[in-house]
Amino acid sequence: MQKNTLTRFLLVVALFLGQFTFASDTEKETEEHGKDLKTEIKEYISHHLQDAHDFSLFSYTKENGEHKYVGFPLPVILWDNGLKVFSSSKFHHGETLAEVDGNYYKLYHSKIYKTDAEGTIHYDEEHHATNVKPLDFSITKNVVMIIVTGLLMLWLFTSLARSYAKNNGVPTGVGRFFEPIVLYVRDDIARPNIGEKRYKKYMSFLLTIFFFIWFLNMFGLTPLGINVTGNIAITVSLAIMTFLITNFTGTKDYWMHQFNPLGDTMPWYAKIPLYIILIPIEILGLFIKPFSLLIRLYANMQAGHIVLMSLIGLMFIFKSWLGSPLSFGLAFAISLIEVLVALLQAYIFTMLSALYFGFASEEHEHDHEHEAEVAH
């Protein structure tokens, strides 16, 4: 099928915007498989949002009908009555079965199921797959980007520390760009929210979480099509770390506030009816705080990717000199906003974590208050 010049131009630009995962032969696949174009777009968006066992940048169909993918496979590591290690290329993007040691595995909706030689998938009444799922320890594209981000941060901060040591506290090179950010996290996030006495013991975590989220969000805007922070398992893990640090470093006053929120302001018998309500609320608040962290980061990054992909998908639907450029303009504008959102979400997660750490490290100066009352 011939494509007009406008469509080719829009697809190339969308690729460099970092949100292009639609195959360049979307219309051809629609004709071959009889799928509606909107259904094809929804499937591509769903595929983009999910983790995968390979990096697939885009695909195209040759004149002879052969479907070609541009990308590279990743190692699949399964535990199924023993360790099974093989390349994800055996799945050929879910089109074929992988045979390993006489067992057959099928990639179905980004999950690996054990099947028979025909690749049969069994379903329950709600149309959920009931095949056995082996334990999956595979190196997926999200895991790869987490490792890459970790190595990048290790190199970055190691280089920054060396430049400080060599130049008497004056950074050089790329350190000049990151030093103000590090100082901002320290002086405008950690110190005001945690306090001058205790902020230092939280700085390593706050700096790590800020740059980790920021870099992963920025990688999500590249042509690699990675949506790590839009994966709820990742945001849950980050929130759990904040939760554990908050509660394991909590002071006696912090825990007294959880179970004795009214303090000594009234007799104990008068507080009992109130505590029946207040204490469950305080305990519930311990879990609501990390939940708000994980759901905010997850929802914002997920929504951003969905909006961008939907706008790009409109180019295929409109296919006109008016609708397609309008969709492209909106997608470009949203991409610029997403660059800001990538940084903003890292800031919000770090700021709220510091705020929770500040609550946990609070201490009331009881002795000083008592001396002031006596002197008065």
273-327: per-residue pLDDT in tens? 777 777 888 888 889 999 999 999 999 988 888 888 888 888 777 777 777 788 8
Residues 285-307 as b/e (b if ≥16 CB within 10 A, e otherwise) read eeeebbeebbebbbebbbebbbb
Mean pLDDT score, 180-200? 92
Rounded CA separation 21/313 (Å): 10
- pLDDT given for residue 265 in this prediction: 66
- pLDDT given for residue 65 in this prediction: 67
Q: Please give the angle made by the CA atoms of 178, 181 and 185, to the nearest 5 degrees.
A: 140
Mean pLDDT score, 187-192? 94
Assign 364 a pLDDT band (cuts: 50, 70, 90). Answer: low
- pLDDT given for residue 150 in this prediction: 94
Assign 2 a pLDDT band (cuts: 50, 70, 90). Answer: very low
User: Does residue 196 have a pLDDT over 50?
Assistant: yes
Assign 134 a pLDDT band (cuts: 50, 70, 90). Answer: very high
What does each C-alpha distance from 371 to 140, 256, 329, 365, 366 come to in angstroms?
61, 22, 66, 10, 9
Least confident residue range of 42-46, 63-67, 90-94, 342-346: 63-67
> Using H for helix, E for strand and C for coil, what is the string for the chain?
CCCCHHHHHHHHHHHHHCCCCCCCCHHHHHHHHCCCHHHHHHHHHHHHHCCCCEEEEEEEECCCCCEEEEEEECEEEEECCCEEEEEHHHHCCCCCCEEECCEEEEEECCEEEEECCCCCCCECCCCCECCCCCEECCCCHHHHHHHHHHHHHHHHHHHHHHHHHHCCCCCCCCHHHHHHHHHHHHHHHHHHHHCCCCCHHHHHHHHHHHHHHHHHHHHCCCCCCCCCCCCHHHHHHHHHHHHHHHHHCCCHHHHHHHHCCCCCCCCHHHHHHHHHHHHHHHHHHHHHHHHHHHHHHHHHHHHHHHHHHHHHHHHHHHCCCCHHHHHHHHHHHHHHHHHHHHHHHHHHHHHHHHHHHHHHCCCCCHHHHHHHHHHC
Mean pLDDT score, 210-221? 93
Residues 186-206 as b/e (b if ≥16 CB within 10 A, e otherwise) read eeebbbebbeeebbeebbebb
User: Does residue 82 have a pLDDT over 50?
Assistant: yes
Count of alpha carbons within 13 angstroms of residue 322, beta-carbon side: 0
Percentage of the residues of the chain whose pLDDT score is greater than 90: 32
Looking at the DSSP assignment, which residues form a beta bridge with residue 69? 59
Percentage of the residues of the chain whose pLDDT score is greater than 70: 82
- pLDDT given for residue 212 in this prediction: 96
- pLDDT given for residue 173 in this prediction: 77
> Using H for helix, E for strand and C for coil, what is the string for 6-51?
HHHHHHHHHHHHCCCCCCCCHHHHHHHHCCCHHHHHHHHHHHHHCC
- pLDDT given for residue 374 in this prediction: 42
**For the whole model, what pTM was predicted?**
0.80
- pLDDT given for residue 54 in this prediction: 85
The total number of residues shown for the chain amounts to 376
